[in-house]
């Protein structure tokens, strides 16, 4: 599975992620903020403290929350496929 090349915050509830194979896109956290494991990130100050883990390459925040790079990759891949097929959700 490709690794994350770049990650940045895009607004109060989204991040932009780019992988080293060219897959890239935004991921919206609106639904995840409602889950207990991600509730800390609804505080924009915490949400901005984003980085790529040097250990496993996942998206991580200073508060200890993480997002699996492989699961995120599959979701971005699916979003791109849906856009090519003109499928809306």
The phi, psi pair for 73, rounded to 5°, reads: -60, -50
Q: Beta 4-9 vs 14-19: how paired, if at all?
A: antiparallel
15 vs 89: which has the higher pLDDT: 15
pLDDT band at 1 (very low <50, low <70, confident <90, very high): confident
Query: Where along the chain do its domains lie?
Result: 4-84
Which tokens sit at 72?
A: 């995120």
Q: What is the pLDDT of residues 55-88, one digit of tens each?
A: 999 999 999 999 999 999 999 999 999 999 999 8
Q: What would be the CATH architecture of the domain defined by 4-84?
A: 2-Layer Sandwich (3.30)
């Amino acid at each position: 599975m490709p690794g994350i090349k770049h990650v940045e915050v895009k607004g109060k509830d989204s991040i932009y992620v780019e992988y080293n194979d060219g897959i890239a896109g935004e991921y919206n956290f609106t639904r995840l903020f409602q889950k207990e494991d991600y509730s800390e990130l609804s505080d924009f100050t915490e949400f901005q403290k984003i980085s790529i883990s040097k250990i496993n390459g996942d998206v991580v925040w200073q508060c200890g929350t993480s997002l699996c790079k492989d699961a995120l990759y599959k979701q971005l891949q699916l979003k791109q496929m849906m856009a090519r097929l003109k499928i809306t959700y």
